Amino acid sequence: MAANLPFRNLLSLMQNRLLTTSAATNSSTSQLLSSSFTVNFLMNSCGLPFESALSTSQKLKLEENNLQRPQAVLAFLKSHGFDNTHITELIKKRPGILRSKVEDNLKPKIEFLTQNGFVGKLLADLIVLNPVIFRRGLSSHIKPTFQFLNTYLENNENVMAAVKRSSWLLTYDLTGILQPNIEFLKREGVPLHSISKLILTQPRTIMQKVNRLEDAVQTVKKLGLEPTSELFMLALKVLVSMKESNWNRKMEVLKSFGWSEEDIWSVFKSNPLCLACSEEKMKSAMDFCVNTMEMDVETIIRYPRFLTYAVDKRLRRRGGGGGGGGAKLEGGGSWWLQQYRGVAAWWRWWWDNAEYGDRGGGGSVKEGDRGGGSMGEVGVREGGGGVAQRSVEQGYRFDL
């Protein structure tokens, strides 16, 4: 009997292994079937391409006999103006929305937004850009934030305009960021009408970390600009629109053409938008003015708006032609140099006689003159991007 004991133990072990393997196989088969069904649903019902559906199926599992909630979500979204493209993009970003409860979660928030002017495509665009709206509490966050913005913007239309400029505004940290930043600006002497205009035209300025906004305000004040002035607000917007590394690279570009740090800060004080254009545009404009037009740096510093114009669309056309360094004329000096004398004189006259707002201090600057094309919020698109909170929270400090 004792001799048979090892054999019995081995037999028992083999039986257990077979049972375990069988269970694992069944589980694996079940998961495979579930994943396959999820992929098909995402492709056929939500419009996701195969690769996106396959990767999304790793985060979301749907069962064929339990589709009431996903189907209810899709039907609800379509009934509120979401087209196939909206739904595809939304599910790509937040596949978990398919598990949401329509009556308890989606419907109250959509109804609130609809009642306050977000309808049709405007509503769908907002949700696709910021699906976090469905994860924030309506009473605890969305309503208080909307009411807070309405306090400064005075009506729903202006709130809608601000949210269209930055869809994250409705879901940002109200008590930790938005309110403290507004209170700080008020303490620093910024008028209420300037704060309202700031929220309306460039809301991401008040979406900075508090210490970052404080640093930017102190930097602008060191330049001698008063918080009550338009130039103060314009300089503040430009500063917070870029990371410190971007600012430093722009300074290096200008220094490579002979600018001093004092020159740069002086130009920024009088015309902040000149430092809002990209490094590439700045370098191209300086290269054209210095090497093609043979302008001296002092003239460019005096009339810095040269930096904001596209070389081919504005400067080369105003300069009287294009390409090359120009043919040499009898008596010495290039053709470009002689053209420059007339152009520079025209620019000096224009600068000295134009209205203040037309020179970049705010007001009547045309969109195309703010650095080429549509500039979004105050004409500043600095590369941080699209938006989300990461790009807004880059810390920096400028030292004068």
pLDDT bracket for residue 384 (50, 70, 90): very low
> For residues 95 and 56, is the Cβ–Cβ distance under 8 A?
yes
Is pLDDT of 60 > 60?
yes
Task: Give the model confidence (pLDDT) of 76-120 as tens digits.
Answer: 999 999 999 999 999 999 999 999 999 999 999 999 999 999 999
Q: Hey, what amino acid is at 201?
A: T
> For residues 187 and 215, is the Cβ–Cβ distance under 8 A?
no
Domain ranges of the chain: 34-129, 136-242, 244-381
pLDDT of residue 357: 44
CA dist., res. 294 & res. 339, Å (int): 10
Is pLDDT of 179 > 80?
yes
- Residues contacting residue 323 through CB under 8 Å, at least 6 positions apart: none
Task: Give the model confidence (pLDDT) of 31-53 as tens digits.
Answer: 444 578 899 999 999 999 999 99
Tell me what the mean pLDDT of segment 312-319 comes to: 53
Is pLDDT of 386 > 90?
no
What pTM was computed for the model? 0.71
* CA nearest neighbour of 213 among 263, 179, 247: 179
Task: Give the model confidence (pLDDT) of 237-255 as tens digits.
Answer: 999 999 999 999 999 999 9
Longest dimension (CA), the chain: 123
Q: What are phi and psi of 206, to 5 degrees?
A: -90, 5
> For residues 176 and 183, is the Cβ–Cβ distance under 8 A?
no
Residues facing residue 328 across a β-bridge: 334
pLDDT of residue 374: 34
CA dist., res. 42 & res. 56, Å (int): 8
Tell me what the mean pLDDT of segment 333-357 comes to: 52
Q: What's the mean pLDDT when you consider all of the chain?
A: 79
Task: Give the model confidence (pLDDT) of 150-161 as tens digits.
Answer: 999 999 999 999
DSSP state of 290: I
Is pLDDT of 367 > 60?
no
Q: What is the DSSP string of 202-258?
A: -GGGGGS-HHHHHHHHHHHHHTT--TTSHHHHHHHHHHHTS-HHHHHHHHHHHHTTT
